[in-house]
C-alpha cells in the first residue's frame, strides 16, 4: 500500500531539484502540479491546458492528491529535463517559447505542439510556418469604421514582404510591407479577441499598426511563428556575422509598457490631451496614438541613455491647463522637457520605472541613427 506522506515528501524533494524547480512549459517558478503520464512538473496555468489533453496528459497536485508508488517512481525516472530532451529536441531557433506572463493561446499551442502533435521530436525539414510562403485569411480591423473584415494575407521570404488584399485580388495588394521593421505581438485584451495579434511596421520613419485575429488558435500562432521565421531569415541575411543569441531578441518583441497618459505641447501651455502610449525598449521609442487601436502614430519621443542627457522623474506640474489627472512624469531630453500625466500613482510609478529601465541601458550604434531620424521629424 502506498505511503501517502512518504510519496508526498519524495515529490516535494523532486520539485526542488534545479531541473524541476520551474514549469516545464512556461518557466514559472515553484510548480505545484505534475503530469503523471508525461513525468513533468508544471504551474497552475499550464496545468489547465494539460487537463484539456486527457489522452496525452493526466494532471495531479503534488501536495493535495494521492500518489501511487508506481507514479512517484515514474516521476523520479523522468522529470522536466528528460521531457525537454525528448519533446523539445528540434524546436526551431525562431519558434516562440512562452513565458509565464504570456497570453493563453501561446501557452496552449506550445503545449499542444509538444505533447499532442509532437512537432519537435523529429528533425523535420518542413513545417507550415517554415515553408517560405505563408498565406491565408485573417480578420483585419478597418482604419475608418473600426470593423474587422476578412482579408487575404501573404507572407513571403522570397522578397521579405507581408502583403494583404481587399476583396478583388486582381487589383493587387492593398499594402506591401517590408519585414525589415516588422514586429508582431499578441494583444488579446486590447483587440478584444483571445487570438488578437498586433502587427507593427514603419513607413517613412512613422510607425503603423495592423490589428488582426483568426478564429483558430493554432492558425494565429502559426502566423506568429511564420513572421518570426521570416524575420529570422532576414536578420541572418542583414547581419551574417551575428549569432542567433544576438538576433533572437530582435525577431519579435513585446512592448515594455503600454497605457493612457495625458500629454501637453512643447511650450507646456497647451491643453493636455489623453493619448495611448507604447514604450518600445529595444528601439528606445515612446510612441503615442490618439487611441489604443489607432493605425498611425501621432508622434514619438526618443529615450536615450543617462550618459547622453536623458532622465525621468515623478512630478506635480504647476500652471498646466486641461489636465484631469494629477500624477506627473517628466522626461528630460537634450532638446526639451516632456510632461505627461497619469491617472493614478501606480501608473506613475510603473511609467517612471519602465522609462528608467530604458535610460539605464547604454545606447547601441543603431540607436544614434534612430535618435537623428526622430529629431529630423520635429
Region 318-325: mean pLDDT is 66
Q: What is the CATH number of domain 133-250?
A: 2.30.29.30
By CB atoms closer than 10 A (0-12, 13-18, 19+), residue 27 is middle
* Integer Cα distance of 311 and 288 in angstroms: 19
Q: The domain 1-116 is classified under which CATH number: 1.10.3720.10, 3.30.70.520, 1.10.220.150, 3.40.50.300?
A: 1.10.220.150
Q: Residue 27, by phi and psi: left (phi above 0), alpha (psi -120 to 50) or beta? A: left
Grid cell of 288 as nine digits? 503615442
pLDDT tens sequence across 251-293: 999 999 999 999 987 666 678 899 999 999 999 999 999 999 9
What is the architecture of the domain spanning 257-377? Roll (2.30)
pLDDT tens sequence across 17-47: 999 999 999 999 999 999 999 999 999 999 9
Answer yes or no: are the C-beta atoms of 328 and 348 closer than 8 Å.
yes
Q: Provide the pLDDT confidence category of residue 127 given band limits of 50, 70 and 90.
A: confident
Q: Do 133-250 and 257-377 agree at the fold level? A: yes
3-class secondary structure, 157? coil
Q: pTM value?
A: 0.93
DSSP for 48-83, please give it: HHHHT-TTT--EEETTTS---HHHHHHHHHS-HHHH
What's the farthest any 2 CA atoms get from each other in the chain?
Answer: 79
* Integer Cα distance of 369 and 283 in angstroms: 11
By CB atoms closer than 10 A (0-12, 13-18, 19+), residue 275 is buried
Domain boundary assignment for the chain: 1-116, 133-250, 257-377
* Integer Cα distance of 12 and 32 in angstroms: 9
Q: Provide the pLDDT confidence category of residue 355 given band limits of 50, 70 and 90.
A: very high
Amino acid at each position: 500500500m502506498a505511503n501517502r506522506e512518504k510519496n508526498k515528501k519524495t515529490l516535494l524533494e523532486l520539485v526542488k531539484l534545479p531541473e524541476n524547480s520551474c514549469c516545464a512549459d512556461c518557466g514559472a517558478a515553484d510548480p505545484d502540479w505534475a503530469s503523471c503520464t508525461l513525468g513533468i512538473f508544471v504551474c497552475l496555468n499550464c496545468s489547465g491546458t494539460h487537463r484539456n489533453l486527457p489522452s496525452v496528459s493526466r494532471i495531479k497536485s503534488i501536495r493535495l492528491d494521492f500518489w501511487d508508488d508506481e507514479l512517484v517512481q515514474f516521476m523520479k525516472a523522468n522529470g522536466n529535463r528528460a521531457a525537454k530532451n525528448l519533446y523539445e529536441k528540434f524546436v526551431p531557433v525562431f519558434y516562440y517559447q512562452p513565458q509565464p506572463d504570456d497570453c493563453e493561446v501561446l501557452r496552449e499551442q506550445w503545449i499542444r505542439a509538444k505533447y499532442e502533435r509532437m512537432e519537435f521530436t523529429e528533425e523535420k525539414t518542413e513545417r507550415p510556418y517554415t515553408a517560405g510562403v505563408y498565406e491565408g485569411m485573417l480578420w483585419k480591423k478597418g482604419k475608418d469604421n473600426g470593423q474587422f473584415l476578412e482579408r487575404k494575407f501573404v507572407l513571403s521570404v522570397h522578397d521579405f514582404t507581408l502583403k494583404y488584399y481587399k476583396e478583388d485580388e486582381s487589383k493587387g495588394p492593398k499594402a506591401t510591407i517590408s519585414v525589415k521593421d516588422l514586429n508582431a505581438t499578441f494583444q488579446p485584451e486590447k483587440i478584444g479577441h483571445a487570438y488578437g495579434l498586433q502587427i507593427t511596421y514603419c513607413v517613412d520613419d512613422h510607425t503603423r499598426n495592423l490589428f488582426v485575429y483568426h478564429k483558430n488558435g493554432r492558425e494565429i500562432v502559426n502566423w506568429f511563428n511564420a513572421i518570426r521565421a521570416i524575420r529570422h531569415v532576414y536578420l541572418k541575411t542583414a547581419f551574417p556575422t551575428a549569432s542567433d543569441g544576438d538576433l533572437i531578441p530582435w525577431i519579435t518583441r513585446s512592448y515594455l509598457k503600454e497605457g493612457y497618459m495625458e500629454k501637453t505641447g512643447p511650450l507646456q501651455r497647451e491643453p493636455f490631451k489623453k493619448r495611448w502610449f507604447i514604450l518600445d525598449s529595444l528601439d528606445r521609442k515612446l510612441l503615442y496614438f490618439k487611441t489604443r487601436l489607432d493605425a498611425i502614430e501621432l508622434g514619438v519621443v526618443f529615450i536615450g541613455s543617462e550618459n547622453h542627457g536623458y532622465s525621468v522623474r515623478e512630478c506635480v506640474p504647476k500652471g498646466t491647463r486641461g489636465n484631469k489627472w494629477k500624477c506627473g512624469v517628466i522626461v528630460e531630453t537634450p532638446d526639451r522637457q516632456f510632461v505627461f500625466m497619469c491617472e493614478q500613482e501606480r501608473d506613475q510609478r510603473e511609467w517612471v520605472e519602465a522609462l528608467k529601465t530604458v535610460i539605464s541601458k547604454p545606447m547601441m550604434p543603431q540607436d544614434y541613427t534612430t535618435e537623428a531620424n526622430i529629431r529630423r521629424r520635429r
